[in-house]
């Protein structure tokens, strides 16, 4: 969890930055205590594992979003992209028809390739078209979403081969040494992301572009290449999330991944990454994704919130969690 | 059921033709415009499928009939689509409106040109506009499901999945609860899961953590039922006797047909109601039988015995 942030020069600044880095984890601990007080069933291993496993999709996507956002960009298309990749992957698996690991590997490879291509498209349009990423990805969001509706003819795309589904099922439901596979996947993705962002020149370039594009350009950072690559990383992360998503229900529908983009962006911001770019925190993002899922879980487990008010209480908890974080930063 | 309507209509037309002798059916040219939402989720996907199938069938049954099916992705485009259809000089319009508020005036404008209007599922704000109204029965949808719970459980704990906060959802859930009143069956929890598989999976996982004993699940929708089943399977819980969905998705009907223990029944809310509406509208022009009125389709309990009638393997839904 070592994080280098470019702007932390003095000793005092460094300390405050550390508090900022820690605050999402403090919010996480506070939520866990609150959850336990509300319902003792909350603190069971099975419940917590369920929640963290469920947060895997958003966490993996949000790791990619951390790159895009800390580089000063934005990607609204991730939810639709996830639906499209899931749909395409299932159709490819159905077409190949086999029920063996080789078929599965081909399908997974195709999904990763498609994710990279979707991300590349976003990145190239943003950099070469010189259009606001908000507009570009809003456009591709619509395009990806309609493509999946078209592929599904409005219905559901289902993995038809039952044997193949059983082979693939452990990718979501299986465990290695007691830890569910999706959790391992998102830890690995986050670790790779952390190394990439904090330990490589590419990562430093991303942060540099995000803090000040002109300065970065004059310093010789290849702007378009770095920026395009952040979108490609985002695309690959979406594809990895899909690889864990598909085995869960074995299907994709036109509503798959709806509003995931908002959840991913929220996770990134709750984790301490600046929405305007220039600061990126991978592990904070992971904590943010788990926080979002925990809040939803606590809502269902609590007995005193009417189902009509769940959304309001959820929103309030997220705002309060952010306020608590901020107060920690000011206190130092 | 659709076929019987069709045959009846055809027979009536034939009789009328014989009786008057002068009514030469094949000389008559009628155009029916059909305006429906585009396939944005499973159920509307079913509507599109059944509308297209019915169009083909009707054109074969009634020579001289032309059916134009137009789908629209949202309310505003549906209003535009109505203009396009009127420009093609339609004699009748079958419309499943996106929402009542936005489309009441556009449909009224079509009516003013002397077009025969059939409204399906979501009613307009001014019922005087429609000549025929065909709809599913949401209160009954809840009632039938509730009665099934009472008949099969006698007593026990039920968890409820709500859809998206709408009038439809409210009518279904309140009537479900009314049907349980006075019985030993108790609703121990209800949450919104937005008629969405992923949300239902998540809520069911949480229900399973929270409640040590659940006897049955009212998923109230087939998409949500699929998410629920996956969560139960993961938790390896044996206490849940069955899951009751709704709407009549082909995968679920298949399970009912095959005698799946967890899915012993389903409640219909057929997207094929668009076909009913088109049949009745066509009959208005090609038969002498009176057709104007309101048709409320029953929310039927689908069990192993009648599942075959509700199974459309070629539909996308």
pLDDT(A15) > 70: no
Q: What is the 3-state secondary structure (H, E, C) of A54-94?
A: HCHHHHHHHHHHHHHHHCCCCCCCHHHHHHHHHHHHHHHHH
The domain spanning residue A32 has which CATH number? 1.10.3470
pLDDT(A13) > 70: no
* Nearest neighbour of A155 by CB, restricted to B202, B205, B316: B316
**Is position B310 within any domain?**
no
* Model ipTM value: 0.75
Residue A17 has what pLDDT? Answer: 55
**Is position B311 within any domain?**
no
**Is position B86 within any domain?**
yes
pLDDT(B21) > 70: no
Residues of chain B contacting A39 with CB distance shorter than 8 Å:
210
- B237 with B152, same domain: the answer is yes
Q: Do B234 and A173 touch (CB under 8 A)?
A: yes
Cβ burial of A154 (10 Å; 0-12, 13-18, 19+) is buried
Q: Measure A136 CA to nearest chain B CA, in Å.
A: 21
**Is position B305 within any domain?**
no
- B100 with B155, same domain: the answer is no
- B12 with B80, same domain: the answer is yes
The domain spanning residue B99 has which CATH number? 3.40.50.2300
- B88 with B150, same domain: the answer is no
**Is position A54 within any domain?**
yes
Residue B317 touches chain A, beta carbons under 8 Å:
yes
- B132 with B279, same domain: the answer is yes
Q: How many domains is chain B partitioned into structurally?
A: 2
**Is position B251 within any domain?**
yes
Tokens 């929890």 sit at which residue? B189
**Is position A260 within any domain?**
yes
Q: Which residues pair with B33 in a beta bridge?
A: B68, B93
The predicted-structure confidence for B88-143, as pLDDT tens digits, reads as follows 888 999 999 887 778 888 888 888 888 999 999 887 878 888 899 998 888 999 99
The predicted-structure confidence for B146-166, as pLDDT tens digits, reads as follows 999 999 998 999 999 998 887
CA distance A65 to A80: 14
Those residues whose C-beta lies under 8 Å from the C-beta of residue A297, and which sit 6 or more positions away, are: A35, A42, A47, A50, A51, B206
Residue A97 touches chain B, beta carbons under 8 Å:
no
- B194 with B81, same domain: the answer is no
CA distance A188 to A227: 23
Q: Is B235 left (phi over 0), alpha (psi -120 to 50) or beta?
A: alpha
CB B141 within 8 A of CB B170: no
CA distance B32 to B274: 13
Q: Do A44 and B223 touch (CB under 8 A)?
A: no
**Is position A43 within any domain?**
yes
Residues of chain B contacting A155 with CB distance shorter than 8 Å:
39, 42, 45-46, 315-317
**Is position A314 within any domain?**
yes
Q: Do A154 and B38 touch (CB under 8 A)?
A: yes
pLDDT(A197) > 60: yes
pLDDT(B225) > 90: yes
Residues of chain A contacting B48 with CB distance shorter than 8 Å:
153-154
- B132 with B256, same domain: the answer is no
* Distance set, CA A48 to CA A42, A114, A291 (Å): 7, 33, 12
Q: Do A155 and B38 touch (CB under 8 A)?
A: no
**Is position A128 within any domain?**
yes
* Distance set, CA B123 to CA A161, B54, B167, B222 (Å): 41, 22, 12, 24
Residue A327 touches chain B, beta carbons under 8 Å:
no
Q: Can you list the positions of beta strands (E) in B145-207? A: 155-162, 184-192
In this structure, what are the phi and psi dihedrals at residue B134, rounded to the nearest 5 degrees? -120, 130
Domain that holds residue A324: 11-331
- B246 with B276, same domain: the answer is no
pLDDT(B233) > 50: yes
Per-residue pLDDT averaged across B179-204, rounded? Answer: 91
- B21 with B109, same domain: the answer is yes
Highest-scoring range by mean pLDDT, A1-15, A137-151, B125-139: A137-151
Q: Do A256 and B41 touch (CB under 8 A)?
A: no
**Is position A238 within any domain?**
yes
**Is position A6 within any domain?**
no
Residue B100 has what pLDDT? Answer: 76
- B108 with B147, same domain: the answer is no
**Is position A4 within any domain?**
no
Single pTM value for the model: 0.78
Percent of chain A with pLDDT over 90: 57
Q: How many domains is chain A partitioned into structurally?
A: 1
- B145 with B38, same domain: the answer is no
- B107 with B41, same domain: the answer is yes
Domain that holds residue B66: 2-136+270-298
Residues of chain A contacting B196 with CB distance shorter than 8 Å:
255, 258
* Distance set, CA B197 to CA A151, A158, B41, B256 (Å): 18, 13, 12, 19
């Amino acid at each position: 969890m070592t994080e280098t942030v470019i702007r932390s020069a003095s000793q005092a600044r460094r300390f405050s930055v550390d508090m900022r880095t820690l605050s999402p984890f403090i919010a996480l601990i506070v939520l866990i205590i609150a959850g336990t007080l509300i319902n003792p069933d909350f603190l069971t291993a099975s419940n917590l594992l369920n929640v963290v496993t469920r947060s895997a999709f958003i966490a993996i996507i949000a790791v990619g979003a951390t790159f895009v956002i800390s580089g000063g960009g934005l990607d609204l298309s991730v939810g639709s992209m996830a639906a499209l990749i899931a749909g395409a992957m299932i159709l490819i698996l159905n077409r190949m028809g086999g029920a063996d690991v080789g078929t599965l590997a081909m399908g997974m490879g195709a999904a990763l390739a498609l994710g990279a291509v979707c991300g590349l498209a976003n990145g190239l349009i943003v950099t070469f078209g010189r259009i606001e990423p908000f507009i570009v990805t809003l456009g591709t969001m619509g395009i990806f979403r309609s493509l999946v509706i078209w592929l599904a003819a409005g219905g559901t795309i289902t993995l038809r081969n039952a044997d193949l589904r059983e082979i693939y099922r452990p990718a979501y439901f299986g465990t290695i040494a007691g830890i569910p596979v999706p959790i391992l996947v998102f830890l690995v993705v986050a670790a790779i992301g952390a190394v990439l962002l904090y330990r490589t020149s590419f990562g430093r370039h991303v942060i540099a572009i995000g803090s000040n594009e002109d300065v970065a350009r004059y310093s010789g950072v290849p702007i378009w290449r770095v920026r395009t690559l952040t979108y490609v990383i985002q695309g690959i992360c979406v594809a990895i999330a899909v690889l864990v998503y598909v085995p869960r229900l074995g299907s994709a529908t036109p509503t798959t991944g709806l509003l995931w983009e908002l959840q991913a962006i929220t996770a990134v911001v709750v984790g301490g990454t600046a929405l305007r770019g220039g600061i990126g925190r991978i592990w904070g993002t992971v904590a943010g994704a788990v926080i979002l899922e925990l809040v939803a879980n606590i809502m269902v487990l609590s007995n005193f919130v009417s189902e009509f008010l769940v959304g309001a209480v959820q929103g309030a908890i997220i705002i309060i969690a952010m306020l608590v974080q901020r107060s920690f930063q000011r206190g130092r | 059921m659709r076929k019987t309507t069709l045959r009846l209509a055809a027979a009536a037309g034939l009789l009328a033709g014989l009786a008057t002798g002068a009514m030469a059916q094949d000389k008559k040219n009628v155009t029916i415009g059909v305006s429906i939402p585009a396939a944005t989720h499973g159920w509307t996907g079913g509507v599109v499928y059944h509308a297209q199938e019915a169009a083909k069938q009707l054109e074969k049954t009634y020579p001289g009939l032309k059916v134009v099916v137009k789908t629209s992705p949202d309310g505003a485009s549906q209003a535009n689509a109505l203009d396009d259809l009127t420009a093609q000089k339609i004699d009748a319009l079958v419309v499943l409106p996106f929402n009542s508020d936005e489309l009441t005036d556009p449909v009224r404008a079509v009516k003013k040109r002397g077009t025969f209007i059939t409204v399906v599922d979501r009613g307009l704000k001014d019922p005087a506009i429609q000549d025929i109204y065909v709809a599913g029965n949401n209160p009954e949808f809840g009632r039938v499901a509730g009665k099934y719970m009472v008949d099969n459980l006698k007593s026990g704990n039920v968890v409820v999945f709500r859809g998206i906060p709408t009038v439809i959802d409210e009518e279904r859930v309140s009537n479900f609860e009314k049907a349980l009143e006075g019985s030993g069956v108790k609703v121990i929890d209800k949450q919104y899961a937005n008629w969405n598989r992923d949300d239902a999976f998540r809520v069911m996982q949480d229900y399973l953590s929270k409640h040590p004993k659940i006897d049955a699940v009212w998923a109230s929708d087939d998409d949500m039922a699929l998410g629920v089943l996956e969560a139960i399977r993961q938790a390896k819980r044996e206490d849940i006797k069955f899951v009751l969905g709704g709407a009549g998705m082909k995968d679920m009907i298949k399970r009912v047909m095959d005698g799946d223990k967890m899915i012993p029944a389903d409640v219909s809310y057929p997207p094929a109601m668009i076909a009913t509406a088109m049949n009745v509208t066509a009959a208005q022009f090609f038969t002498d039988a009176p057709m104007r009125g309101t048709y409320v389709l029953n929310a039927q309990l689908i069990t192993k015995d009648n599942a075959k009638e509700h199974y459309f393997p070629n539909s996308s839904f």
